[in-house]
Amino acid sequence: MSNFQRKLVAICSFLLFCVAIISNKSLAQGTRTVSGTIVNSQTGEPVSGATVSANNSKRGTSTDEKGHFKLTVNQGGALLISSVGYDQQEIMPGADGIVTIKLVSNNQQLSDVVVVGYGTRKKATLTGAIATIDSKIFQDRGPTANPLAALQGQVPGVVVTRSAAAPGREGWNFQIRGATSTNGSDPLVIVDGIPLVSLNALNSINPNDIDNMSFLKDASAAIYGARAAGGVVLITTKKAKTGKPTVQYDGSVSFKKIGLQPHLINVKQFGQGLVDGTTNDYYGVAPTSFIWYKFGQLQLNAPDSGYLDMNVTYNMDWATGKLTYVGTPTTPSSNPANPGFGDVKDFTFFNTNWVDALWGSTTSTQHNISLSSRTDKAGYRLSLGYMDDGSLLQWGDNSNKRYNMRLSNDYSFSDKFKLETIISLEKNDIVQPTQAGAVLGQYQQPGLPIATKLGQPYGWGTQYSPNWLAALGGDQNEYNTRIFANMRATYSFTKHLRLIGQGGYNWNITDIKTQQKTINNWYNYAGYQKGSPDNPSQQNSFYSRQLIKDPYYNLNAYLEYQNTFKGVHDLGITVGTNYERDELNSYTARTNYIANDNVPSLNLGIGDATTKSVTESQSHYAIGSYFGRLNYAYNNKYLFEANARYDGSSKFAAADRWKLFYGFSAGWRIMQEKFMKEVTFLDDLKLRASFGTVGNQSGINLYDYLQLLNVSSNTTGATNNGFPIIGTGTVVYAAPTANLVSLNRTWEKVQTKNLGLDFTVLKNHLSGSFDYFIKDNINMLLGQQFPAVLGATAPSLNLGHLRTHGWEALLSWRDNIGKFNYHISATITDNNNKLISYSANNVIGAGYNAAVQGYPVGSYFGLQYAGRIQDQKTRDAYRLLAPGNNISMPLTTATLPGVRMGDNMFVDQNKDGKLTTPADLVYLGRDDPRYTYAANLGAEWKGFDFSATFQGVGKRTIFREGNWRVPFGSIFQGQTDFWVGKTWTPNNTGAYYPVLSVGQNGTSYNNYNYQVSSWSVENGAYIRLKNLVLGYTIPQQIMQKVKIQKLRIYFSGNDLWEVTHIRDGWDPEATRSVGRANNESTFSRYPFYRYITFGVNVTF
């Protein structure tokens, strides 16, 4: 051990000073000539144009068309061979100076070994549905906040979606093989054998450190038992590779600009919309005394100066819009030109485009440097990473900085004992304006300026410019620190039997400091008068501090036995045990009414006790497990695997704590059969099948089996009347929580079945695989309504059966035309699901439904569109469906017209003579994407490389929640222009949108026309150029002179182009809730971006 410690100390000091490696060995003198042939390891074909260099001289050459080369080298020097598309190799030529080198195609690299649960398997003998990707996928992408960002469309069966783009808050979600449960079933992500506690940790991992990822999609995940229902992702980080010490630097700078965003209407469109819309809402009679009509008139007839000071008198003829300047001083509220806004000082008519004003371009950079070396006994790799992700938001402080350090080290003490350690430090600092919500809410109404004439914050009544709220309202600083220590010891008893023990400790700390500053200077446009009251006032200023500590450890050990009997029976057995535990711990302290904004501190709250609060939360869980796997292969032809895990969880009472999960799979390598020898066009063919059961405990809370009690005490003083007085003071009381203890429910059990085919044909040029799967969540946890006499909120119960089935295909072609190497690959994934049974309620509501029997989870239901009312006869007949409706359809009465020409019509499905929900609802589609696909094209020629990735979704239905999708959905706020010029009028009967309404005069036309229906849902299908890369590797002959092994420069672009059918202006990847104000997903409003990156890769 001391040897190892010395080694560690040496490396650590090396780290601390961060000195570049200078390899300065003494060189053997004298030269000799080496010649050889370089071939593809798999096909045996010669590799032309490969670079051959000597590691101890500046000489280098490249291979000819037959793969031959000849090079003079210094004595004792090794040869370094590299070629695009192949792994670099270093060999020491023998005494005869003749070598044959087999280069491994890096596309095929993983065909050798695939990381699986607790071990590795040869790809050729895999029987499960396991997809893999390698580090290449993360290259050339520019700053990548989350590795998932690079995976869109890349892995068959894995659907990656995004919901937000704010720096540090990018919302990346992924599902393996579609929905598994309405309770969620995030894939289990395991990094170097240790699970991540939360997928948030992916935000701080450096994608540049990832060597490969395996996705266990079927019963092969059963070795992870109770948490494998959503599939398992195994991330393996980079280790030192064989060869001499190398230093690698990758750096890039990216320009980021906002992507698709709704266009906002301008002052004139706003004014015209108000005038037309209010006139429509008043049934064709211009309501000249109505505030919003007047406001519209004012916008339409605004003075050229764009400014009306209400402190001087104007006369306004509201019917004609004629505005005259009088100039006598007056009070703003009684100014004849004021439509009736009592609290404003002026009116402004500037064509401020809030999208442009708030959002803009930015720059992001990243730098990664790694040092690695390997000797016979030891290898180490140190990598340092830095990323600075800039902000599209142009006001206030907003950024995401990531610092990564990862050291992986292995040392063989003897032939029998090997120790590997990985230590990683990840720091992730996120800054955003405390009042980011103001920016991400609905924009201000058209006309308001960005600043006053004098450059001050502009306030209009109770409307405050969002840019100033962001800029002056204080910052929220979030500091994430994650430390991973991972140790793995291997002891080989014999050649066949090994014991592997692993311990991992993750230490996550998040420290959040939030300050809300007082802003007390809001001016009118001229800048001489306060336009609005203080906001936030000093009383509402606050400072809060939240500290979240989340330590987690995992201990596992397993025995691995591997042997071959009589040359044909391959047997492998793995048995092990695992224990893991997480302790979440956080407290939040907050004080309002800060003495001085310049010194935010918990010590400087000057309010009374009710302005201060401290809360704490703590929880923990543990899982104990036994697991095992048995592999048997006969003659490499018939393959069989069984795996199982017996899991115990602290979430359950001792009696039902333990559960067994298992999987079986088999494979048949058909090409190994004698009768296939004649089939020459086929290179490889394998049939796979599996079934198994995995668990999901996501619907279960931590202590569900125990009745929890709330203790309530009055912390807010006399103004809280919830606490009775007993004696002379108010009492504390305790009571069981509203949630019932759930003893009779258990983990969701998901049965998976998979059938797969892998093939390689046409001299290994074309390869592919196809998988078909069925997943049955046979006891999905769903809610059930009980009679009220229960007296409590019932837990969800194992009531549902969800079946998900789908397929995925991967096809890849690789060839070369002379020195022009190219490859094309495509993946497509689909899954469909259906809630087969739900033994309790089956209630359908209009809009999004999480679970309805007979339909996919996340289904939309709505009315069926029946066209637009274009003639009076149709209208009169259709009006008869209004009495008794519950869909906001206006009634025709003695005084009200009801639906009008140009309004939408919907189908009375059940023909009961009235439009009602749920009776007249039809299924409109599902929110989860279907037919997700990607195509990758790549080529290399004379040092140039090119690749492009197109990614898309074939089918998706979105119904946008919130009022952005409705014209004047919120009359006093900014809105998108999708409807401008496209609403029905007698002169434009072919318009896409119905008659304009602004929802005033008590009308419900907008609610009626724009409700969820086959007309109002959006088509979420799209195709997008996800990534484009053009690179050039400077010829080695040149770089050798400056002691650089390899230098590559590249340009890449992300999300450069797309085709979308979305009508409301949002990005096709945006969520259904992006338009909903003030909800949990406010950050989904943060615009998606496009990236242009220039980067360099250098290897010394």
Contact residues toward another protein (CB under 8 A) are 577, 579, 581, 616-624, 626, 648-650, 654, 657-658, 702-703, 706-712, 714, 717-744, 784-795, 797
Residue 624 beta carbon to another protein: minimum distance, rounded to whole angstroms? 4
Residue 657 beta carbon to another protein: minimum distance, rounded to whole angstroms? 6
Residue 56 beta carbon to another protein: minimum distance, rounded to whole angstroms? 55
Residue 785 beta carbon to another protein: minimum distance, rounded to whole angstroms? 6
Closer of 680 and 728 to another protein (Cβ):
728
Whether the CA torsion 334, 338, 340, 344 is positive or negative: it is negative
DSSP 295: H
Q: What are phi and psi of 133, to 5 degrees?
A: -135, 160
Position 703, amino acid: Y
Position 572, amino acid: G
- In which element (H, E) is residue 480 found? strand 475-492
Closer of 303 and 791 to another protein (Cβ):
791
Residue 520 beta carbon to another protein: minimum distance, rounded to whole angstroms? 27
Closer of 4 and 579 to another protein (Cβ):
579
> What tokens appear for 914 in the block?
């009235």
By the 10 Å C-beta count (0-12 exposed, 13-18 middle, 19+ buried), 244 is classed as middle
Residue 886 beta carbon to another protein: minimum distance, rounded to whole angstroms? 13
Residue appearing with tokens 């670099």: 88
SS3 of 351-363: the string is: CCCHHHHHECCEE
Q: From the CB of residue 430, how many other CB atoms can be counted at a distance below 10 Å?
A: 22
Residue 644 beta carbon to another protein: minimum distance, rounded to whole angstroms? 13
Using alpha carbons only, give the angle 385, 1034, 73 rounded to the nearest 5 degrees: 100
The residues, any chain, with a CB within 8 Å of residue 95's CB and separated by 6 or more, are none
Closer of 563 and 841 to another protein (Cβ):
841
Closer of 38 and 799 to another protein (Cβ):
799
User: Helical H runs in 762-813?
Assistant: none
Residue 849 beta carbon to another protein: minimum distance, rounded to whole angstroms? 19
DSSP bridge pairs for 430: 400, 478
Contact criterion met (CB below 8 Å) for 544 and 474: no
The residues, any chain, with a CB within 8 Å of residue 686's CB and separated by 6 or more, are 124, 667, 668, 669, 670, 671, 757, 758, 759
Closer of 598 and 721 to another protein (Cβ):
721
> Quick one: how far is CA 1062 from the chain centroid?
21
Residue 712 beta carbon to another protein: minimum distance, rounded to whole angstroms? 6
Buried b (16+ CB within 10 A) or exposed e, 894-922: eeeebbbbbbbbbbbeeeeebbbbeebbe
DSSP assignments along 257-269, one per residue: EE---PPBP-HHH
Closer of 319 and 653 to another protein (Cβ):
653
SS3 of residue 226 by DSSP: helix
Q: How far apart are CA 405 and CA 14, in angstroms?
A: 13
Q: How far apart are CA 876 and CA 869, in angstroms?
A: 10
Contact criterion met (CB below 8 Å) for 209 and 349: no
Closer of 268 and 620 to another protein (Cβ):
620
> Quick one: how far is CA 520 from the chain centroid?
38
Closer of 743 and 1092 to another protein (Cβ):
743
Contact criterion met (CB below 8 Å) for 665 and 688: yes
The residues, any chain, with a CB within 8 Å of residue 505's CB and separated by 6 or more, are 483, 484, 485, 486, 551, 552, 553, 554
Residue 575 beta carbon to another protein: minimum distance, rounded to whole angstroms? 10
Residue 860 beta carbon to another protein: minimum distance, rounded to whole angstroms? 25
Contact criterion met (CB below 8 Å) for 1065 and 263: yes
Closer of 609 and 732 to another protein (Cβ):
732
Closer of 542 and 705 to another protein (Cβ):
705
Closer of 546 and 650 to another protein (Cβ):
650
Q: How far apart are CA 569 and CA 119, in angstroms?
A: 20
Residue 1077 beta carbon to another protein: minimum distance, rounded to whole angstroms? 23
Residue 581 beta carbon to another protein: minimum distance, rounded to whole angstroms? 8
Residue 966 beta carbon to another protein: minimum distance, rounded to whole angstroms? 29
Contact criterion met (CB below 8 Å) for 279 and 287: yes
Closer of 65 and 616 to another protein (Cβ):
616
SS3 of residue 629 by DSSP: strand
Closer of 20 and 788 to another protein (Cβ):
788
Whether the CA torsion 1009, 1014, 1017, 1019 is positive or negative: it is negative
Residue 226 beta carbon to another protein: minimum distance, rounded to whole angstroms? 12
User: Helical H runs in 880-932?
Assistant: none
Q: How far apart are CA 741 and CA 507, in angstroms?
A: 32
Q: What are the distances in angstroms from CA 603 to CA 464, 540, 542, 611, 715?
A: 30, 16, 12, 12, 19
Closer of 10 and 732 to another protein (Cβ):
732
Closer of 785 and 893 to another protein (Cβ):
785
Residue 786 beta carbon to another protein: minimum distance, rounded to whole angstroms? 6
